[in-house]
Amino acid sequence: MSQSEPSDTSEHPRAHHDMGGVPKFLCEPIDTEAHALTPFDREVDAIRGILGAKSVMSVDELRRGIEAIPEADYARLSYYQRWIRSIADNLLARGVISEAELRAALEQA
Amino acid sequence: MTPLIEAPSERLLAGIKLLLASKGIATAEEIAERMAQTDRASPAQGARMVARAWTDPEYRALLLRDGAQAAEALGITMRGLPPLGVLENTVDTHNLVVCTLCSCYPRAVLGYPPFWFKSPGYRARAIRDPRAVLAEFGTALPDGQRIRVVDSTADYRWMVLPQRPVGTDGWDADRLAALLREGDMIGVTVPSAA
Amino acid sequence: MLAPGAPVRVRDDWPEARGPCHIRTPHYLRGRLGTVVRQLGSFPNPEDLAFARPAPTLALYHVAFEPRSIWPDAGGDEIVVELYESWLEAA
């Protein structure tokens, strides 16, 4: 059994999504109001569900992709904006779509 | 990481939809069907389970033993979804659920996670200072009741079984279910018959 | 297999410092002492699933911690977290 004290967590590189007890958010009031989802939010959510059900992308891969978003963008983007970025990242990483295809689709969209 | 994925979000969604449709992975019809299916899950489902547990000791035991089976028993589809754990509030202990890492939420029985559940303030503070968080929801617990905070980090999803409010003797399950709000089943609020 | 009541320590490990990873053990628990509540079953390791790698199955436990051992100013009375066996050592 180790008797050593746990290391001071402030010395370690906490990932920015790992928010439990983090001082910078402790004074942030909680917005307890209901916020209706937008059509964008619901579509992104549905696409994630389909990709999961068809084993194209797991929820763990979705999370990995969200966590890979740089901190400033993570803070700026809405919840489902992070999701669609992670979905695109994962579809590229898995080779489901290619960069050339995505570039062309973005021009068409 | 390619800058392509940093495209404006609406455009990124439109582009991904084009590609998924052309590859036969997700058509517009499938997306619409999925949205309709997801919209059917709501806090009313969890409320039915809680109200049944308040009125049926056998169901209560099942709910606490295996939340997913208890949901299925009321016709809520749980196949392919994460296991559901149920945390029982008692006179001694109040439970509060948070996901400090992302936003794990018992969606099958409560629907989409609410805005506050996904917010940095809730994710950071609920685990460290739950009483202050409850106060912001207008919730004050009785003196002496302990708070257990459950950080939903992994494969389970967690919902709270609140205590049945006083003044509801003789109420049937429908009337009891109508008392319940989503926050009661996460632990930020407690139901009341007043 | 850890029995309910068994004292455990969460590994004081920081994979974040070593490169891309996906971990479900919150930073605030690293190196902390806790008590096993019960086993919740076994699940494929999300650290592998997140990278679409073959994922070995791991036992998942509910583990209880004393909040004030983590934050002296903590306001709750108990913290309970799902943790995989790979993050736990006997204490």
Residue C90 inside a domain? The answer is no
Domains in chain B and their CATH numbers?
9-39 (no CATH), 43-185 (3.90.330.10)
Q: Do the domain assignments include residue A30?
A: no
Q: What is the CATH number of the domain that holds C68?
A: 2.30.30.50
pLDDT for res C91:
92
- Residue C2 in domain: no
B9 is catalytic: no
Parent domain of A47: 38-108
- Give the residue-averaged pLDDT of A47-69: 97
Asked whether residue A82 is domain-assigned, the answer is yes
* pLDDT-derived band at A7, boundaries 50, 70, 90: low
Does A13 reside within a domain?
no
pLDDT attached to residue A15: 95
B151 interfaces chain C, CB cutoff of 8 Å: yes
More reliable by pLDDT, B156 or A11: B156
Tell me, yes or no, if A14 comes closer than 8 A to chain C by beta carbon: yes
Reported as a single tens digit per residue, the pLDDT across C70-89 is 999 999 999 999 999 999 99
Residue C26 lies in a domain: yes
pLDDT score of A2: 41
Return the pLDDT at B142.
96
For tokens 């949901």, what's the residue?
B71
Q: Can you give the pLDDT at residue C42?
A: 98
* Domain-embedded: residue C80: yes
Domain assignment of residue A2, yes or no: no
Question: Residues 21..80 of A with a Cβ closer than 8 Å to B: which?
Answer: 21-22, 24-26, 28-35, 37, 40, 42-47, 49-51, 53-54, 56, 63, 66, 68, 73, 75, 77-80
Q: Is C80–B151 a contact, with Cβ atoms under 8 angstroms apart?
A: yes
Residues in chain B with CB shorter than 8 Å from the CB of A108 are 15, 18
Task: State yes or no: is B152 an active-site residue.
Answer: no
Q: Pick from B18, B30, B127: which is nearest to A21 by CB?
A: B127
Which residue of chain A is at minimal alpha-carbon distance from B135?
A30
Residue A19 lies in a domain: no
Q: What is the pLDDT of residues C8-43, one digit of tens each?
A: 999 999 999 999 999 999 999 999 999 999 999 999
What pLDDT does A13 receive? Answer: 82
In this predicted model, what pLDDT tens digit does every residue of B143-181 receive, in sequence order?
Answer: 999 999 999 999 999 999 999 999 999 999 999 999 999
Q: Is residue A79 part of a domain?
A: yes
Q: Where residue A5 falls among pLDDT bands split at 50, 70, 90? A: low
pLDDT at residue B89, as a whole number: 98
Q: Is residue C1 part of a domain?
A: no
Residue C70 is assigned to a structural domain of this protein: yes
Q: How many CB pairs under 8 A join B and C?
A: 76
Low-confidence ranges of chain B (pLDDT < 70): 1
What was the pLDDT predicted at A1?
Answer: 39
**How many independent structural domains does chain C possess?**
1
Domains identified in chain A, total number: 1
Q: Does A61 touch chain C (CB under 8 A)?
A: yes
Catalytic residue from among B104, B119, B152, B192? B104
Structural domain containing residue C23: 7-84
Domain for residue C91, yes or no? no
